[in-house]
């Protein structure tokens, strides 16, 4: 079987063959999710022929890591992690955070924002005896876990400890971790709120608040939990706020939570220019699966993230690909935390070739070296699309994204 225009097994590159006005959401038939109506996205938005824009000058950092007034251990840990030069958000935010300012960081995932807040806080924490004194709130369990993993790498040997407080896993171990009075508490809003209300988390010494991916947390309905959590924080604190977008709701939060903030923006264009994006026309769902299996047979498709719309569809597609001999795992809301973690680990460590995911399950994940993102089902919104394709082409690597559309 071949792709319609090329017959070479390669997705097509031209936007000109589109029949205009066709809704993008109808591809593949089958039951649509209930929820809000899907945004119409013209297929040309799934194509990026401007890959040559890649020539854009790389960011030249004003600082070297050595310029930052960090202790020898922290510097050594940064070197051991392999970071050579600060990324744009690190370059601009770290000096402000060290100076004690509240900071609004407008940055997408993949910009290095985690280290931008972790490094200066770790530095400022050394020697502080009061704990816990840092609260980091993230929208998803996976993102919180990634932040915790980075924290452990950067704080190695410094006598600083963390507790990961996320939902979907038993609370016993978390309560045990909290009893050890960690310096950093990293978690998701629901469980954090719960344990704060039950007085398992002491808030009176919290001197740092980080809200990561604030826009996503609002999208996911966490606003009341966040307000409740922050209301328990002391007024005397440093607050750092990261978001890819600024909406009126976000602005209100910023006004309520931050004092005299400095804004650092490293937002790039809506869609990463270094991700090469194409569409693939398919007749129906069966055809899509055939085309996808064809792609996966090519050697270069070695670490492929596939997005589907429904939990059920994602699981079924993953099982189907595995049956066809393309090792695949799925993450979606019907899987519990340890199942999701296992799947993610298998994919990260390249034990399987394909991860099939829903948007919510994949939010905020940092998976290095994804070779291709494939939109098996078109996204609900263009912003979801941008988030999806942001999983490939990270850290300057070139990424590729394909979106299935109706033939």
**CB under 8 Å, gap of 24 or more: what pairs does 335-341 form?**
335/361, 336/168, 337/141, 337/166, 337/167, 337/168, 337/169, 338/169, 340/141, 340/142, 341/142, 341/145
Q: Which of 25, 95, 112, 182 binds ligand AMP (CB under 6 A)?
A: 112
Question: Count of CB atoms within 10 A of residue 398's CB?
Answer: 12
Find the helix or strand (DSSP H, E) in which 238 lies. Answer: strand 238-243
Residue 224 DSSP one-character state: H
Binding flag, residue 24, ligand AMP (CB under 6 A): no
Contact range with ligand AMP by CB under 6 A, out of 105-113, 128-136, 213-221, 313-321? 105-113
Q: Which of 40, 336, 368, 398 binds ligand AMP (CB under 6 A)?
A: 368
Q: Toward ligand AMP, which CB reaches closer, 143 or 330?
A: 143
Q: Toward ligand AMP, which CB reaches closer, 79 or 179?
A: 79
Residue reference for tokens 């171990």 = 173
Q: Toward ligand AMP, which CB reaches closer, 115 or 178?
A: 115
Q: How far apart are CA 294 and CA 325, in angstroms?
A: 11
Find the helix or strand (DSSP H, E) in which 110 lies. Answer: none
Give the x-and-dash track for 382-401 against ligand AMP (CB under 6 A).
Answer: ------------xx------
Q: Which of 11, 86, 132, 139 binds ligand AMP (CB under 6 A)?
A: 86
Q: Are 145 and 158 in contact (CB under 8 A)?
A: no
Q: How far apart are CA 193 and CA 252, in angstroms?
A: 20
Q: Which of 24, 77, 109, 375 binds ligand AMP (CB under 6 A)?
A: 109
Sequence-ordered list of residues with C-beta below 8 angstroms from that of 404, at least 6 positions apart, any chain: 27, 28, 279, 280, 281, 282, 288, 291, 292, 374, 375, 376, 377, 378
Shortest distance in whole angstroms from residue 220 CB to ligand AMP: 18
Size of site (CB under 6 A) for ligand AMP: 15
Q: Toward ligand AMP, which CB reaches closer, 81 or 176?
A: 81
Shortest distance in whole angstroms from residue 262 CB to ligand AMP: 19
Q: How far apart are CA 24 and CA 244, in angstroms?
A: 25
Contact range with ligand AMP by CB under 6 A, out of 110-118, 200-208, 340-348, 385-393? 110-118
Binding flag, residue 90, ligand AMP (CB under 6 A): yes
Q: How far apart are CA 402 and CA 48, in angstroms?
A: 10
Q: Toward ligand AMP, which CB reaches closer, 83 or 161?
A: 83
**Binding residues for ligand AMP (CB under 6 A):** 83, 86-87, 90, 109-115, 366, 368, 394-395
């Amino acid at each position: 079987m071949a792709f319609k225009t090329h017959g070479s097994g390669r997705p097509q590159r031209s936007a000109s063959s589109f029949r205009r006005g066709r809704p993008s959401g109808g591809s593949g038939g089958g039951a649509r999710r209930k929820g809000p109506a899907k945004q119409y996205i013209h297929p040309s938005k799934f194509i990026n022929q401007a890959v040559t824009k890649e020539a854009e000058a790389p960011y030249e950092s004003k600082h070297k890591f050595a310029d930052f007034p960090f202790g020898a251990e922290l510097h050594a840990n940064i070197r051991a992690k392999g970071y050579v030069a600060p990324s744009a958000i690190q370059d601009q935010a770290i000096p402000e955070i060290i100076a004690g300012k509240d900071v609004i960081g407008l940055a997408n995932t993949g910009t290095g924002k985690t280290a931008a807040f972790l490094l200066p806080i770790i530095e400022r924490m050394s020697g502080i005896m009061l704990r816990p004194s840092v609260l980091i709130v993230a929208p998803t369990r996976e993102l919180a876990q990634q932040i915790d993993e980075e924290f452990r790498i950067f704080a190695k040997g410094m006598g600083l400890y963390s507790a990961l407080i996320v939902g979907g896993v038993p609370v016993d171990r978390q309560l045990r971790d909290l009893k050890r009075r960690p310096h950093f508490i990293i978690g998701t809003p629901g469980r954090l709120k719960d344990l704060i209300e039950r007085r398992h988390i002491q808030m009176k010494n919290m001197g740092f608040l980080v809200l990561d991916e604030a826009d996503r947390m609002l999208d996911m309905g966490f606003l009341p939990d966040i307000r409740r959590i922050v209301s328990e924080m002391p007024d005397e604190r440093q607050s750092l706020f990261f978001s890819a977008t600024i909406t009126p709701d976000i602005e209100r939060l910023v006004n309520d939570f931050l004092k005299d903030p400095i804004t650092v923006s490293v937002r790039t264009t809506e869609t990463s220019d270094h991700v090469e994006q194409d569409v693939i026309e398919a007749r129906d769902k069966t055809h899509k699966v055939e085309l996808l299996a064809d792609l996966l047979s090519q050697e270069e498709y070695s670490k492929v993230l596939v997005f589907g719309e429904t939990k059920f569809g994602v699981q079924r597609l993953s099982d189907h690909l595995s049956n066809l001999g393309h090792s695949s795992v799925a993450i979606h809301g019907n899987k519990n935390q340890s199942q999701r973690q296992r799947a993610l680990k298998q994919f990260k460590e390249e034990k399987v070739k394909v991860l099939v995911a829903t948007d919510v399950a994949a939010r905020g994940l940092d998976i290095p070296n994804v070779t291709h993102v494939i939109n098996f089902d078109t996204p609900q919104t263009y912003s979801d699309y941008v988030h999806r394709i942001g999983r490939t082409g990270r850290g300057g690597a070139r990424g590729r994204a394909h979106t299935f559309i109706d033939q």
